[in-house]
A and B are shown apart, each in its own frame.
Chain A
Amino acid sequence: MANSDHKKGVKRALYHLLLWAISIFFFSPIIWMIICSFKTREEILMMPPKWLFIPSLQNYIGLFDMFNFSKELMNSIFMSLGAVIIAVLVSFLAAYSFSRFKPKGTDLIMFLLLSMRMVPAAAVVVPIYLLYAASGWKGTHSGMILFYAMFSIPFSVWILKGFIDGVSERFDETALANGGSRMHIIFRLVMPQVKPGLIAAFIFNIIFVWNEFLFNFIIGGKKTATVPVGLAQGFSAGGAIQWDFIATLTAFYSLPLIVFIFFFQKYLLVGMTFGTVRGEV
């Protein structure tokens, strides 16, 4: 009896070991990148790789006086927060209307919104580029924020409509019968109950805007460059490819998102399937 228990325990330990090995295997390129970010440029280029070295924070300190990094970082933070907050708020209002009143054309608009999000980025950006060049929005912060907000709306509407559908209409009816206003129903009754949906929409879109490169590269300008744009341009400054810069920047820039998905892991599935798949992972 004790023997079979023991056997089971060993089997489980091996199974857990396997799972951890897989996890670390997937993460290994990132580990390598993090290691590189603590090396000097000469050490990164050494062959065979230098396994033992004195880690240095020099690259990280250097980051802040390189290639307008601080400005680009501020742009990344400012634009992704601004765009996503606007998008989630207006999407929430629209989702409430779609869910409760089902105005004519709801299905069509939901479908068109989603389709816009499925088009290759370069196809989206051609007309927007012409529009922005003609209207003078090209390279402005507000132009970029509103564009990113537009791009974050479809998934947000889809996610939030799914969640609002899940809130019983009884709440609305009871509050109405007692003389409550719609605004109070929307913001004080329904909103708190769809918090998971708000978080999922927020997380998913933040990840997208934070990482986005092509749109900013084309319809943005020097003033609005985010870190990925800076990374693309600083790639080979001065002829040689700056490996230390790339490794450090990538490690630094990815960290907030890694922390995000650690804390909000259960929202990742909802976010990435725009609310069409829910469940535990």
Chain B
Amino acid sequence: MSDTTVAKTIAQTDSSAGGMGWLRSLENPKYLQHLLLVPVLVFFIVWNVIPLFWLVGLSFYKYVLVTGEPLKFVGLHNFFEIFNSFEIWHALSNTFLFVILGAGTQTFLGIILGFTFWGSKELPGRRIALTLIFTPMIMAPLATGSFFKIIYDPVFGILNYFIKGVFGVTIDFLGSAVWAFPAVLLVDTWMWTPFMMMMTLAALGSVPKAELEAAEVENLSWYQRLIHVVLPHGKFILMLGILLRTIDSFKSMDIIFTMTRGGPGNSTELIGLTLYRQAFNAFTMGQASALAIISLLIAISFTSIYLYVLKRKEAAA
């Protein structure tokens, strides 16, 4: 009721101040709905649509930026080259491995942590504790990568100090083709397990209290509670979390860029890094564009899956 009164008073003060005819015509929803969109559409067209057409066009050309050679139309050649390139298949399979192992571990640990923190409402200093846990995911990936280089260092690193104390050996984590991948994966897991924990907490929070109490009364076992009470409500948020993590880790770049630059050899090469190298080290813009379009299509399909799950969640709610 009081809200309506507020609306009225604001409306009245406004109409007494008004009186400019042309401004009034903007009030017409027919124009206004588009007018409000103009700024966003300008951004969208200048920074997304035009570059996208440029990208599609370039992907059919041989275009090396620094040599000054004129553009040469090569048709689908760039795409064929990508499909025939061992390096790109290697980078792609590395990326999928990174995504599956990374997102998988983070989901697993995040769910365990989420359940552990379920019922932590009375924890003294809860807000500080959660800030400590959430910090890894808001740090600059570049800074995190740099810093873990110190921690992993074979001579000066604290991690090797402990490993030497226990096993008597030192491991050159980032300098060895065997260890570099798991070492990078570990940093990614440190950064993003808190995210999955947050999503798990949100999923658990979406379970109605009444149903949990009913389960308590009926004395269901923890397994039955999980299957019949928690999962039906929580699974959507959890799925959205897993999907977001999948999309995000597919994009991973900064920490690898700092820690290993894809090396040693190409043991930590991810597709984003390959793309970067093609465009800004080799300056083969045509081929980079073709690869960019492929990543774009992968991203669009991920997004579609995400929105599909979201729609189902809304339909179920």
Which A residues contact B (CB, under 8 angstroms)? 12, 16, 18-20, 22-24, 26-27, 29-30, 32-33, 36, 44-45, 47-49, 90-91, 93-94, 96-98, 100-101, 103, 109, 111-116, 118-131, 146-147, 149-150, 153, 157, 170-171, 174-176, 178-182, 184, 188-189, 207, 210-211, 213-214, 218, 227-228, 231-232, 235, 241, 243, 246-247, 249-250, 253-254, 257-258, 260-262, 265, 268-269, 272-273, 276-277, 279-281
**Is the CB–CB distance between B43 and A180 below 8 Å?**
no
Chain A residue at minimal CB-CB distance from B24: A181
Chain A CB within 8 A of B166 CB: no
**Is the CB–CB distance between B206 and A279 below 8 Å?**
yes
**Is the CB–CB distance between B202 and A94 below 8 Å?**
no
Please judge, given known A-B contacts A19-B117, A189-B7, whether A268 and B27 are in contact too, CB under 8 Å. no
Chain A CB within 8 A of B80 CB: no
**Is the CB–CB distance between B4 and A93 below 8 Å?**
no
Residues of A within 8 A of B127 (CB): 262, 265
What are 8 A-B interface contacts by the 8 Å CB criterion? Answer: A16-B124, A19-B123, A90-B39, A119-B251, A131-B54, A246-B149, A258-B135, A273-B244
Please judge, given known A-B contacts A122-B279, A127-B55, A250-B147, whether A179 and B190 are in contact too, CB under 8 Å. no
**Is the CB–CB distance between B148 and A29 below 8 Å?**
yes
CA A280 to CA B310, docked complex, whole Å: 19
Please judge, given known A-B contacts A101-B29, A103-B34, whether A180 and B10 are in contact too, CB under 8 Å. yes
Chain A residue at minimal CB-CB distance from B292: A123
CA A49 to CA B199, docked complex, whole Å: 37
Ordered nearest first, which 4 A-B pairs have the shortest CB separation?
A: A180-B11, A127-B51, A101-B33, A178-B11
**Is the CB–CB distance between B131 and A120 below 8 Å?**
no
Min Cβ gap B55→A in Å is 4
CA A121 to CA B296, docked complex, whole Å: 10
- Besides the known contacts A26-B190, A120-B251, 19 further A-B residue pairs in the complex with CB atoms under 8 A apart: A12-B122, A30-B135, A94-B36, A115-B303, A119-B251, A120-B299, A121-B251, A122-B276, A126-B289, A146-B47, A153-B43, A174-B8, A180-B11, A181-B27, A211-B139, A241-B149, A269-B202, A272-B198, A281-B130
Residues of B within 8 A of A268 (CB): 134, 198
B138 touches which one: A24, A124, A207, A214 (CB < 8 A)? Answer: A207
Residues of A within 8 A of B149 (CB): 241, 246
**Is the CB–CB distance between B161 and A262 below 8 Å?**
no
**Is the CB–CB distance between B205 and A281 below 8 Å?**
yes
Residues of B within 8 A of A149 (CB): 43
Q: Is the interface of B mostly helix, strand, loop or mixed?
A: helix
Within 8 A of A (CB), among B132-158: 132-136, 138-144, 146-151, 155-156, 158
**Is the CB–CB distance between B288 and A126 below 8 Å?**
yes
Which B residues contact A (CB, under 8 angstroms)? 3-4, 6-8, 10-12, 14-15, 18, 23-24, 26-27, 29, 32-34, 36-37, 39-41, 43-44, 46-48, 50-52, 54-55, 58, 113, 116-117, 120, 122-125, 127-136, 138-144, 146-151, 155-156, 158, 161, 190, 193-195, 198-199, 201-202, 205-206, 237, 240-241, 244, 247, 250-251, 253-254, 257-258, 271-273, 275-276, 279-280, 285, 288-289, 291-293, 295-296, 299-300, 302-304, 306-307, 310
Residues of B within 8 A of A272 (CB): 195, 198, 244
Residues of B within 8 A of A150 (CB): 43-44, 46-48
Residues of B within 8 A of A171 (CB): 3, 7
Min Cβ gap A125→B in Å is 8
Residues of B within 8 A of A16 (CB): 120, 123-124
Residues of B within 8 A of A118 (CB): 247, 251, 299-300, 302-303
**Is the CB–CB distance between B130 and A23 below 8 Å?**
yes
**Is the CB–CB distance between A93 and B40 below 8 Å?**
yes
B131 touches which one: A101, A184, A210, A258 (CB < 8 A)? Answer: A258
Residues of B within 8 A of A125 (CB): 279
CA A111 to CA B251, docked complex, whole Å: 18
**Is the CB–CB distance between B150 and A243 below 8 Å?**
yes
Please judge, given known A-B contacts A131-B51, A268-B198, whether A231 and B143 are in contact too, CB under 8 Å. yes
**Is the CB–CB distance between A179 and B275 below 8 Å?**
no
CA A263 to CA B52, docked complex, whole Å: 39
Residues of B within 8 A of A44 (CB): 150, 156
Please judge, given known A-B contacts A180-B15, A228-B143, whether A130 and B54 are in contact too, CB under 8 Å. yes
**Is the CB–CB distance between A93 and B39 below 8 Å?**
yes
**Is the CB–CB distance between A91 and B206 below 8 Å?**
no
Please judge, given known A-B contacts A181-B27, A277-B199, whether A211 and B132 are in contact too, CB under 8 Å. no
A281 touches which one: B15, B202, B273 (CB < 8 A)? Answer: B202
Residues of A within 8 A of B3 (CB): 171
Please judge, given known A-B contacts A122-B276, A273-B244, whether A103 and B37 are in contact too, CB under 8 Å. yes
CA A12 to CA B23, docked complex, whole Å: 64
CA A250 to CA B247, docked complex, whole Å: 26
Please judge, given known A-B contacts A120-B295, A178-B11, whether A247 and B150 are in contact too, CB under 8 Å. yes
**Is the CB–CB distance between B146 and A235 below 8 Å?**
yes
Chain B residue at minimal CB-CB distance from A116: B48
A19 touches which one: B120, B138, B254 (CB < 8 A)? Answer: B120
**Is the CB–CB distance between B131 and A265 below 8 Å?**
yes
**Is the CB–CB distance between B11 and A184 below 8 Å?**
yes
A246 touches which one: B6, B141, B147, B289 (CB < 8 A)? Answer: B147
Min Cβ gap A13→B in Å is 10
**Is the CB–CB distance between A90 and B43 below 8 Å?**
yes
Residues of B within 8 A of A121 (CB): 251, 253, 272
Min Cβ gap A127→B in Å is 3
